[in-house]
């Protein structure tokens, strides 16, 4: 039994005219000391997955099927009150820009202390204060700064304080939702190093949600690549980098700038992310995929495993775990037409760009 | 070997090759940063006059002082956001200005397009002084120098259609009406990769995706056919898969229209992809400048080197040896005396403690403001900083 078991999770949001399937069949396991990256672009469902795990979905959102088990206990059926017992103590989350969520008129130390007093009624005021000091030390802030207000902290220090708060009740799992996105590179490196150390020292399991593949490669041992709510590929970060199987993973890696790589922009990904209220049928990546075949439009490819922990959901990957060359197989006429039209449009645009300007 | 704090600048190397030390670098007067003769010489050559040039630009903001201090005659504190910057962007050139928040890069960008006043220094466009222009001359300047902002969600007026947004510059400058107005907007949109443009003209920004919005913003900047475009983090709000498209368009316009870019970013790896030259800015001053290849592969300023070392690598089997710096960029109202990087510098040369280094030539077109490279030498390796996470008090393991 894993610490956290997510199986075939589906999350829907009710909107004016219908529903949006924001997460559509995501599964993973998490063990103590694990670091798992959830990677994808905006709208891919990575944050929704986190909110579902935390039991923090907004009113119009619900887990429509699947299960989330913490130490074997099903979380999706818990009442709000029961779920509250797990938050902070078993699971906590650090949001992007969380440092701006601190109350400006309350001392930082008091804010870090709050979850302790709230969730561990047996803990005395004095003991809680001592714990805050230890937490401050743990995240690299001088404990004397407890009495300071948020505006007296720099951005990086406020983010550290938020991490301290997330750790206040000794959770087993910490989810970081783009925890370094709003920070400078140097501060980002400091925070990532801190998370890494906490994982090693405290045996925390960390789920890191980010759009930045480099950040995941740097901090996580495994990752899950999501596209438009669906799982595209999962595996160790080394596998995903060295042997990406899903066309989307490959394209995504190709779009990440690397100072050790060549100075070229890479291919990018044509088209744009789909409207989740009206997603393309089958594999949702099919309209942007140059490996798309008839079957890709017909149904979503069940994830298949290729080696330890490496799984991919793609029809174009053959039994030997190789990505077939683009359009080696018969392609759906409509998909051909779309791809053709796109290529022509690109050619026309290129031609117009190449025209000399008077 | 000179990496030990307190080691003096090696005096044995051949002195005086293109080093501007004859004009005494002053640590107390902020305005006294010395333009680099070698770079200046290179610039004055050939057709280098076209494009934009900044000479010793300062942008300062006075802070309020409070009544008591004012009565006591205490001078008002001043934020020196840009503190003596020399920079050139030629036509058809991509210059990346890289810095963390608080480095002054955005202030510099905004003062360049006159959204903020310059306190002192000179701006030259195609060799002509445009520092104090106003009225018609300023309007003409703005036609030639345009800006693209970071956030396509905030920079577009939600109540205007795409056509009106993109045509506004034409209207303001009285350049085109009626059919020609629309034709020029369509062409700019197509060039920004929005085709067919005709179908987008009547749309409002909320009907567009983030990538499309940024393309509209680019079209609005390009409709005047500017010579120089200041692009302030134009892709940092966009998903990775959309970035490539935007960058490609910017580079394509460089090729077809000879547009020069001052590309502002916090991301050195992005600068690596697109820039001809990279300028690294720290606390209001450029501390290293050179061809992208040199700055990335052979950085000669400890700050640049540290920044490069913390860039996350997309290859998990090739993690870099991180060299974390202590703390964060200090407040621009309290720029350290001596070398502004000294308090955070892992190499801390004795001279840097008291004297502000000018830019020294370290290679062809490559300069660095560090006393340790005064004679073009290599930097010693950065020492590993234990406890960089916890500047003063080491974190004793708890639990």
pLDDT at residue B25 tops 70:
no
Give dist(CA B95, CA B50) in Å, integer: 14
In the predicted model, what is the mean pLDDT of residues B354-374? 96
pLDDT at B24: 37
Enumerate residues 6+ apart whose C-beta is below 8 A from A346: A270
B77 contacts B333 by C-beta, under 8 angstroms: yes
pLDDT at residue A331 tops 70:
no
ipTM value for the complex: 0.81
| 3-state secondary structure at position A21 | strand
- CB within 8 Å: A273 and B239: yes
pLDDT at A308: 85
In the predicted model, what is the mean pLDDT of residues A78-86? 92
Residue of B nearest to A222 (CA): B316
In the predicted model, what is the mean pLDDT of residues A280-292? 90
Beta strand extents in chain A (DSSP E only): 4-15, 18-30, 35-39, 61-70, 73-74, 91-94, 173-177, 205-210, 222-227, 230-236, 304-305, 311-312
Contacts of B312 in chain A (CB under 8 A): 188-189, 192, 212, 214-215, 217-219
Between residues B321 and A284, the one the model is more confident about = A284
In the predicted model, what is the mean pLDDT of residues A324-331? 59
Structure tokens at A210: 């980010």
Interface contact B18, partner A, CB < 8 A: no
State percent of chain B over pLDDT 90.
56
Residue of B105, B241, B313, B334 to mutate, interface with A, max A Cβ within 10 Å: B241
Could you read off the pLDDT of A179-237 as tens digits, one per residue? 888 788 888 888 888 889 989 998 999 999 998 899 999 999 999 999 999 999 999 99
State percent of chain A over pLDDT 70.
91
pLDDT at B319: 78
Could you read off the pLDDT of A227-253 as tens digits, one per residue? 999 999 999 999 999 999 999 999 998
- CB within 8 Å: A197 and B209: no
Contacts of A256 in chain B (CB under 8 A): 240, 314
In the predicted model, what is the mean pLDDT of residues A81-87? 91
Residue of B nearest to A249 (CA): B241
pLDDT at residue B45 tops 80:
no
Average pLDDT, chain A: 87
Beta strand extents in A77-204 (DSSP E only): 91-94, 173-177
pLDDT at residue B270 tops 90:
yes
Residue B200 — very low, low, confident or very high, per pLDDT cuts 50/70/90? confident
Give dist(CA A100, CA A186) in Å, integer: 19
Dump the DSSP string for A276-328: TTSPPSSSTTGGG-TT--HHHHHSPPPPEE-STT-EE--TTB-TTS-BPPTT-
Interface contact B319, partner A, CB < 8 A: yes
pLDDT at residue B287 tops 50:
yes
Enumerate residues 6+ apart whose C-beta is below 8 A from B139: B172, B173
- Highest-scoring range by mean pLDDT, A340-349, B1-10, B46-55, B317-326: B317-326
Residue of A nearest to B327 (CA): A187
B window 156-215, beta carbon within 8 A of A: 190-191, 193, 195, 209-211
In the predicted model, what is the mean pLDDT of residues B278-306? 96
Give dist(CA A45, CA B70) in Å, integer: 55
Give dist(CA B253, CA A171) in Å, integer: 52
Residue B228 — very low, low, confident or very high, per pLDDT cuts 50/70/90? very high
In the predicted model, what is the mean pLDDT of residues B253-269? 93
- Highest-scoring range by mean pLDDT, B60-64, B175-179, B361-365: B361-365
pLDDT at A342: 59
pLDDT at B7: 36
pLDDT at B150: 83
In the predicted model, what is the mean pLDDT of residues B127-140? 91
Min Cα separation B100/chain A (Å): 6
- Cβ-nearest to A259 among B245, B272, B397: B272
In the predicted model, what is the mean pLDDT of residues B116-137? 93
A273 contacts A226 by C-beta, under 8 angstroms: no
Contacts of A348 in chain B (CB under 8 A): 195
Handedness of CA A148, A149, A155, A156 (dihedral sign): positive
Average pLDDT, chain B: 83
B window 48-87, beta carbon within 8 A of A: none
B window 353-392, beta carbon within 8 A of A: 388-392
Contacts of B193 in chain A (CB under 8 A): 349
Between residues B69 and A332, the one the model is more confident about = B69
- CB within 8 Å: A265 and B399: no
- CB within 8 Å: A356 and B325: no
Min Cα separation B150/chain A (Å): 14
């Amino acid at each position: 039994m894993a610490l956290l078991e997510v199986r075939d999770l589906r999350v829907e949001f009710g909107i004016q005219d219908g529903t949006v399937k924001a997460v559509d069949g995501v599964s993973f396991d998490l063990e103590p000391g694990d670091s798992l990256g959830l990677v994808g672009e905006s709208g891919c469902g990575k944050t929704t997955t986190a909110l579902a795990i935390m039991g923090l979905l907004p009113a119009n959102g619900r887990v429509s099927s699947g299960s989330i088990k913490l130490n074997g206990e099903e979380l999706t059926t818990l009442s709000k009150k029961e779920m509250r017992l797990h938050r902070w103590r078993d699971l906590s989350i650090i949001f992007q820009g969380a440092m701006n969520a601190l109350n400006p008129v309350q001392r930082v130390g008091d804010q870090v202390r709050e979850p302790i007093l709230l969730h561990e009624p047996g803990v005395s005021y004095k003991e809680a204060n001592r714990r805050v000091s230890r937490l401050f030390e743990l995240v690299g802030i001088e404990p004397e700064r407890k009495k300071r207000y948020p505006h007296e902290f720099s951005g990086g220090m406020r983010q550290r304080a938020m991490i301290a708060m997330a750790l206040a009740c000794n959770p087993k799992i910490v989810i970081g939702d783009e925890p370094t996105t709003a920070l400078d590179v140097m501060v980002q490196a400091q925070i990532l190093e801190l998370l890494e150390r906490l994982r090693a020292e405290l045996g925390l399991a960390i789920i890191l949600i980010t759009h930045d593949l480099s950040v995941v490669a740097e901090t996580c041992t495994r990752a899950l690549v999501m596209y438009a709510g669906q799982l595209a590929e999962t595996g160790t970060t080394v596998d995903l980098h060295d042997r990406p199987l899903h066309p989307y993973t490959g394209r995504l890696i190709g779009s990440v700038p690397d100072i050790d790589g060549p100075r070229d922009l890479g291919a990018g990904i044509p088209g744009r992310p789909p409207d989740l209220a009206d997603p393309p049928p089958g594999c949702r990546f099919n309209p942007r995929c140059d490996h798309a075949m008839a079957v890709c439009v017909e149904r979503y490819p069940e994830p298949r495993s290729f080696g330890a922990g490496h799984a991919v959901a793609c029809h174009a990957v053959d039994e030997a775990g190789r990505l077939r060359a683009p359009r080696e197989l018969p392609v759906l006429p409509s998909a051909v037409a779309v791809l053709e039209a796109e290529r022509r449009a690109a050619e026309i645009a290129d031609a117009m760009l190449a025209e000399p300007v008077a | 070997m000179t990496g030990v704090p307190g080691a003096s600048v090696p005096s044995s190397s051949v002195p005086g090759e293109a080093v501007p030390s004859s004009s005494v670098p002053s640590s107390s007067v902020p305005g006294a940063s010395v333009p680099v003769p070698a770079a200046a010489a290179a610039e004055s050559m050939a057709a280098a006059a076209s494009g934009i040039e900044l000479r010793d630009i300062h942008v300062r903001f006075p802070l309020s002082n409070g009544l008591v201090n004012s009565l006591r005659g205490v001078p008002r504190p001043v934020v020196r956001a840009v503190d003596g910057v020399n920079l050139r962007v030629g036509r058809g050139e991509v210059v990346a200005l890289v810095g963390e928040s608080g480095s002054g890069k955005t202030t510099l960008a905004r003062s360049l397009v006159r959204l903020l006043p310059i306190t002192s220094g000179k701006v030259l466009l195609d060799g002509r002084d445009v520092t104090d222009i106003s009225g018609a001359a300023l309007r003409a300047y703005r036609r030639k120098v345009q800006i693209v902002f970071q956030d396509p969600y905030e920079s577009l007026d939600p109540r205007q259609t795409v056509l009106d947004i993109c045509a506004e510059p034409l209207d303001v400058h009285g350049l085109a009406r009626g059919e020609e107005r629309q034709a020029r907007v369509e062409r700019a949109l197509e060039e920004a990769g929005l085709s067919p443009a005709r179908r987008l003209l009547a749309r409002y920004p909320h009907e567009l995706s983030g990538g499309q919005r940024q393309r509209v913003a680019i079209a609005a900047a390009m409709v005047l056919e500017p010579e120089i475009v200041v692009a302030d983090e134009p892709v940092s709000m966009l998903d990775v898969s959309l970035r490539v498209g935007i960058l490609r368009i910017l580079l394509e316009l460089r090729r077809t229209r000879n547009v020069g870019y001052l590309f502002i970013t916090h991301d050195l790896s992005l600068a690596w992809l697109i820039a001809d030259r990279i300028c690294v800015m720290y606390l209001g001053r450029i501390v290293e400048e050179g061809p992208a290849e040199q700055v990335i592969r052979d950085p000669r300023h400890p700050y640049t080197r540290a920044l490069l070392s913390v860039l996350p690598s997309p290859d998990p089997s090739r993690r870099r040896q991180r060299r974390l710096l202590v703390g964060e960029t200090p407040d621009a109202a309290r720029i350290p005396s001596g070398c502004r990087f000294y308090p955070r510098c892992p190499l801390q040369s004795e001279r840097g403690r008291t004297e502000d280094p000018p830019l020294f030539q370290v290679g062809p077109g490559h300069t660095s403001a560090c006393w340790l490279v005064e004679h073009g030498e290599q930097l010693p390796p950065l020492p590993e900083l234990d406890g960089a996470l916890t500047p003063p008090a080491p974190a004793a393991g708890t639990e």
